[in-house]
Structure 1
Amino acid sequence: MEALGWYVVVLLTINRFREASTTTTTTTTTTSSVAVEAMFVFGDSLSDPGNNNALLTIAKGNFLPQGIDFPGGVTGRFCNGLIGPDHLGNMLGLGLIPAFQNPNTKGSNILKGVNYASSAAGILNDSLAILGERWTFDQQIEQFATKTLPDLRSQALRSKHGNKELTLDVFLANSLFYSNIGSNDFIDYAVATYKYPDASAYIDLTMIQHRRQLKDLYQLGGRKFLVFGLAPLGCLPIAILLFNKHAPTDCSDKLNQIILRWNAKFVELIQQLNHELHGAYFLYFDVYSEFLRVTNDPSRYGFKQVRNACCGAGLLNSEYMCLTPTAPVCANRSEYVFWDSFHATEAMYRILARQAFDGTLQATFPRNVQQFFQPM
């Protein structure tokens, strides 16, 4: 029944989805005291700044009301405003990281980093292939290796902190590699359980692939990594609608239990990589716990709606999803955790980014992104 529900979502998405590209002047507090050179972003629609706009895909959001709170208008991000990498880039003093597929993302424009994230991308190359073209995580890594690195090598690299000359290796070692991916693999798992009938085997399959991908980024020069666990997907408005319609104030525990199992395996993997890869540090962000911390005490963070989507209509504003320019939109967007049936609002992304930047992510050093790059 759950697999059928997800399949319905994908079919609805195929008939009505859209997406785009992005720039904005929306502000987040900027921090300039951290010695970071650049940020390279890998992921899916949670991080996509518009890389899918020119692709033959329904996984793109280049239409209103997406980007309704961007002064520049529609961008391609699945959000009313800034998404996670935007907030974190501002906090690091880098500003918005340019989309890889933007024709202007070359030369000196890549010196603060590049965002390769692509909506519908997964750890596995065939995840959500039904939606059309997208840049898989492997393809994003290939873009970094074959296009960005040669471009960086052709330039005279100078530190943003002291203006001294840098080798490419030092430049990359002082950059943040941001990876937030995996949600689409488990959407695909729920849709096509006939392909992967055993959850444990599927978790292991994604973990083997992800280990290789993160090691590839290390081999290409990455040393400081911020890697995200999976959020409680069972708390998405669409998941509650499909799996818990009889109790719409509750998350789908069955789906969340699978996510918890994946996160536990991922923590083990991160610990192994930190032990095995000389000079590298992988900082794990437990988004699952952070999400529940906010939604279990919403008034503390200014939220009034933790189950309903802001954009859409019907039960949880998710029976008629935010997939057309005429979709109804709430007026008080800062009071909602969810922008649409799948994605967070700018307000929620800001909270998560702030936690990643200067919160306590884990007990061992470093505890947050800021501590990665503070001058010694």
Structure 2
Amino acid sequence: MEALAWFVVVLLMINRRGEASSPSSVAVEAMFVFGDSLSDPGNNNDLVTLSKGNYLPHGIDFPGGATGRFCNGLIGPDHLGNLLGLGLIPAFQNPNTQGSNILNGVNYASSAAGIFNESLAILGERWTFDQQIEQFATKTLPELKSQALRSKEGSKDLTLDEFLGNSLFYSNIGSNDLINYIVANYKYPDLSAYIDLAMTQHRRQLMELHQLGGRKFLIFGLAPIGCLPIAILLFNKNATADCAEQLNQITLRWNAKLTELVQQLNHDLEGAYFLYFDVYNAFLRVTNNPSRYGFKQVHVACCGAGLLNSEFLCLTPKAPVCLNRSEYVFWDSFHATEAMYGVLIRQGFYGTLQDTYPKNVQQLFQPKCREASLSSSGGAEAMFVFGDSLSDPGNNNALMMGYG
């Protein structure tokens, strides 16, 4: 009997976002966090500053209560630490952040900090980005050298270089520098020159972290500053629900230069990988379709009062607080809710950070054999198989035939 001509098409989807994978499959040693109030877990608590959130209602949904986080609950590094299997990364200024407690990483972020040391100095004391790098170099590195470093995967001994090389360096900073420009542009009349100067400074800082041992970096772009409730209140007449577009255009110019910087670093520093997280568009994906993510309030702060709950800020324990906090994008007039941070961080962990940087955080720390299977576009979308019995997964089961 003549063989029956046949073909089979088997669609094998490889989930580009990796959402079916368990975070436990990610092999990362530690996470070192640098930034401002978007990432501060309480490093400003003992400083003389207006920029600290160690009082209720901040932390109203956090297991430890008010810790210094400007949020109702978990912030970005908390969510990412959990996804990486590291848990909450301790604040550098916490007296207990020493010895074996630093083996999962350290968080140096400080509210009101900037790339420039002078940014938002009017608010009082804070740990600038340069000071945060110094803390890592002069306190954390010597302590790590004194520790017995063991791999979390396989329990083998690690050198300090190996430990740092497979750790994540998390950098989310720049908002305060741009805010400083907006409120004091009489001092910096040329926006392009100001941004160029900021990028020159930031390149030096990131290269310094690289020289100290950092090899895998997550660099956050800025979210649309014009969509902050306080920005809408101050820059849009009658506090309409629309974002202040003039501020968003400034943010886009900043992000374009930051993208160029990341591209340069990836080109210049062999053996290092800098992920640029396009938070701007990740944020707009949520706010342009809030119901898909469970949100109902996009431009109104949860904590505060008046128009957009932003005329009276969330600055005292008596500040009014919404009940359905998971339905709000913004916790206060400047910062996101725990729910919004969670959505954004999951996009960074599982999703596409930016088209030109196909890896996400999960892929960055997967075994090399897994990385080798991913195409330059972030993973194959499908595979179509044609052939005979050498490839047949069972398509002939219902056919009457002799052989294939």
Alpha-carbon shift at residue 366 of structure 1 (Å): 4.8
Partner of 1:262: 254
1:332 aligns with 2:317: no
Larger relative helix fraction:
1
Give the greater-gyration-radius structure (CA).
Answer: 2
Alpha-carbon shift at residue 183 of structure 1 (Å): 0.3
Q: Distance in 2 between matches of 1:254 and 1:114?
A: 36
Q: Superposed, which structure 2 residues align to 1:32-111 within 5 Å?
A: 32-111=24-103
* Matched residue type, 2:74: L
Partner of 2:359: 367
Asked if 2 retains the 8 angstrom alpha-carbon contact of 1:30 and 1:92, the reply is: no
Which residue, 281, 294, 301 being the options, matches 2:293? 301
> How many aligned positions are there?
348
Q: Distance in 2 between matches of 1:247 and 1:227?
A: 32
Partner of 1:154: 146
Which residue, 202, 208, 218 being the options, matches 1:216? 208
Alpha-carbon shift at residue 344 of structure 1 (Å): 0.1
Partner of 1:22: none
1:282 aligns with 2:274: yes
Instruction: Summarize deviations over 1:9-28 as a string: whole Å, max 9, x none.
Output: xxxxxxxxxxxxxxxxxxxx
Alpha-carbon shift at residue 72 of structure 1 (Å): 2.2
Which residue, 179, 182, 185 being the options, matches 1:187? 179
Q: Distance in 2 between matches of 1:365 and 1:226?
A: 11
* Matched residue type, 1:246: N
Match of 1:32, SS state, is: helix
1:348 aligns with 2:340: yes
Alpha-carbon shift at residue 306 of structure 1 (Å): 0.2
* Matched residue type, 1:369: V
Q: Distance in 2 between matches of 1:261 and 1:293?
A: 19
1:113 aligns with 2:105: yes
TM-score, scaled relative to structure 2: 0.85
1:130 aligns with 2:122: yes
* Matched residue type, 1:371: Q
Q: Distance in 1 between matches of 2:95 and 2:55?
A: 20
TM-score, scaled relative to structure 1: 0.91
Q: Distance in 2 between matches of 1:72 and 1:273?
A: 38
Asked if 1 retains the 8 angstrom alpha-carbon contact of 2:287 and 2:298, the reply is: yes
Q: Distance in 1 between matches of 2:125 and 2:140?
A: 21
Alpha-carbon shift at residue 257 of structure 1 (Å): 0.5
Q: Structure 1, unaligned stretches of length 5 or more?
A: 1-28
Match of 2:127, SS state, is: coil
Q: 1:100 to 1:278 in 2, by over 3 A?
A: same
Alpha-carbon shift at residue 197 of structure 1 (Å): 1.1
Alpha-carbon shift at residue 364 of structure 1 (Å): 5.0
Q: Structure 2, unaligned stretches of length 5 or more?
A: 1-20, 369-404
Q: Percent identity?
A: 81
Q: 4+ residue stretches of structure 1 with deviation over 6 A?
A: none
Q: Distance in 2 between matches of 1:365 and 1:80?
A: 32
Alpha-carbon shift at residue 247 of structure 1 (Å): 5.0
Q: Superposed, which structure 2 residues align to 1:233-252 within 5 Å?
A: 233-252=225-244
